[in-house]
Structure 1
């Protein structure tokens, strides 16, 4: 995008908004909220599907508005030396086109056939292996993938263990009794106030703040449920809506840092550009939560 004149911040934001549009279909996210909030996966999936139109609309709106506002950026370039023409096979890589359907396989199984999340993900791995690897190289590639997966997933696994410890701690009787008055004081029961208050609190999920669902926010969610302040499905609406903001605009999240650095801008610039759009997504999620569960 940058090469064809899209401004750097807009290009980075477009990648992140695209990730956010697909976030409601992330099967590991379904499993995380199902485990953390002790809700069945179909309940989590149902709310995620309600959140998807808001995320998609925000992503499309971001592209349309930002490209129109910022225009294109032109730069001088040197004519490259004539290189040896490459074949179409080299341009496309080794994998055939139908290997690109790999992300669709788990979604079809989980959404269409209601297969459990882990078997659906494993089916996607097997499909990717069969469509990209020669039979004699399958064992080698599968082992390399397994080792690589441990490197990528080790930190999130430790984080999820810590979140589990935090959730168990805040559900202890003494913790609930201590935190209930404070949490109840800032937790409105009126649907309109519910939407207004939690919309204003959106910035608290940035910079790993207290409403970040992959940190202290998980503990607050546990208190809201354990103290009976909100039903678990309403807390699900809060957590998933805040997660849409965190996944795009938090300058400390992995994808935000990566996209900003790759584009040559700062994460804070990306945050300022994308925050109004994901804030609107969170507002939509809160409205659905208030109208459906309160």
Structure 2
């Protein structure tokens, strides 16, 4: 393969990456076209493209498909049973007379719920409960939006379905993702608390709090409180079980059944098995709908991974990329920390976009898969709360009546700090 092939592959990346970043072409279509373009330019034959890229790529991330589906079912039942709503209400009540504590506890509640939910609909359900409370206690709309988005991004780091996807992209062990996620998730929590601390250092907030008479009591009283306290553990139960060593899918099943059975006052689910089973069935049906967009994107990512892992493509790109990626781990960390915002706008470090192909190439040419995968997932710590192209960011901006880029500017320094810690943890764990 000649240098012209390498230039051609880069051109395919650039063209479809630009189309994706500018939203001229849907991400799914751009990734699929990118995969086929790279396969053609990389010298793959018709049968290899058909059988390996399209057929093999469509099931390349099958483990992640199923995990996302089960996770979406858990998220659906957490929403249906009122567990998510009661978590928010409990957090608001526990905050008492302190706007800072209310904000911190609502942040934690959103993060806990985000360990199980997926999809824009579930995010909207949480946000429409939390936003009125935060606005009523004096938080500016932009800041309320930032707190919820940072909390959501913190929680999805511990969603087992996402762990499976990250591990499946380059075939690394799930344990590697979990070991990286714990310190990085702690850093995200500290960054979120730092954001809240910074934003609550205003006398106007305290004055508004006093004028409104506390925690937006009307908003809280409107919420039902029919879920037993122990049922609120359901969203994080699968996370605990996976960390303890249980496989992801059985952990989700336990979480789903726990939520369905114990969310009834007096645990009536134990005496009404038909109602409980119907609720579980409905949750799985809704889970299919909620998980469909992510699964569709994973199909296209699977095509792209199959294309870039092809021997001819990897061989073509190895000399160029080997010259770009530093072997010195300090320089490696510095480079990726500086470049972390390239995960925004479906950029080259966004694992749900162009980045999936780039880390596939890097893994194919011999870069430690655990290192490069967790580095890319670290960059997602910028993307998850701050990317204006996220559907939940766009909806939040519209709902709160603020500019979506203003939200990005507000949360970016704190999200970037989390990404930096994640990259350092990645290098420490897998780069030495």
Instruction: Identify the TM-score tier after normalising by the shorter chain.
Output: 0.7 to 0.9
Confirm or deny that 1:168 pairs with 2:306.
yes
Judge conservation of contact 2:341–2:379 (CA < 8 Å) in 1.
Answer: no
Partners in 2 of 1:97 and 1:255 — Cα distance? 29
2:10 is matched with which residue?
none
SS in structure 2 opposite 1:252? Answer: coil
Q: Distance between the aligned counterparts of 1:254 and 1:96, measured in 2? A: 33
Which position in structure 2 is the counterpart of 1:271? 408
Match of 2:232 in 1: 100
Shift of 1:275: 0.6
Give SS of 1:92's match. Answer: coil
What's the offset of the Cα at 1:91? 4.5
- DSSP 3-state at the match of 2:312: helix
Contact map agreement 1:23 1:244 (CA 8 A) in 2: no
State whether structure 2 residue 425 is matched by structure 1 residue 288. yes
Does residue 122 in structure 1 map to residue 257 in structure 2? no
Q: Quote the residue 1:151 is aligned against.
A: 289
Aligned counterpart, 2:398:
261
2:386 is aligned, of 246, 249, 254, to 249
2:328 to 184, 187, 190: 190
- C-alpha displacement of 1:147: 1.9
Residue ranges of structure 2 left out of the alignment (5+ in a row): 1-133, 213-217
RMSD: 2.4
CA contact (8 A) 2:387 2:408 kept: yes
The structural deviation recorded for 1:74 is: 4.8
**Mapped partners of 2:156, 2:293: distance in 1:** 20
Q: Which runs of 4+ in 1 moved over 4 A?
A: none
| Cα distance, 1:138–1:53 mapped onto 2, change above 3 Å | closer
Contact kept in structure 2, 1:247 and 1:255, CA below 8 Å = no
Bigger share in helix: 2
The aligned residue for residue 317 of structure 2 is 179
Please report how far the alpha carbon of residue 116 of structure 1 lies from its aligned counterpart in structure 2 after TM superposition: 0.3
1:289–1:143 Cα change, 3 Å = closer
The CA distance in 2 between the partners of 1:8 and 1:140, in whole Å, is 39
Trace 1:44-59 onto structure 2 (pairs within 5 A).
44-59=177-192
Residue 71 of structure 1: CA displacement?
4.7
Deviation sequence 1:199-246 (CA, Å, 0-9, x none): 221221101112110122111111111101x21121122112111111
Structure 1 unaligned spans of 5+: 79-84
Is the contact between residue 341 and residue 383 of structure 2 (CA under 8 Å) also seen in structure 1? no
Distance 2:183 2:195 in 1: 20
2:241 to 99, 109, 116: 109
| Superposed CA offset, 1:147-187 (max 9, x none) | 21111111101111111111111000121123223323331
TM-score, normalising length: structure 2: 0.61
Which of 164, 171, 185 aligns to 1:38? It is 171
Structure 2 residue 364 is matched with structure 1 residue 226? yes
- Residue 6 of structure 1 aligns to a residue whose secondary structure is coil
Distance 1:193 1:142, change over 3 A: same
Aligned length: 282
State the distance in 2 between where 1:109 and 1:158 align. 28
Pick one of 153, 161, 178 that aligns with 1:28. Answer: 161
- Contact 1:7 / 1:70 at 8 angstroms: preserved in 2? no
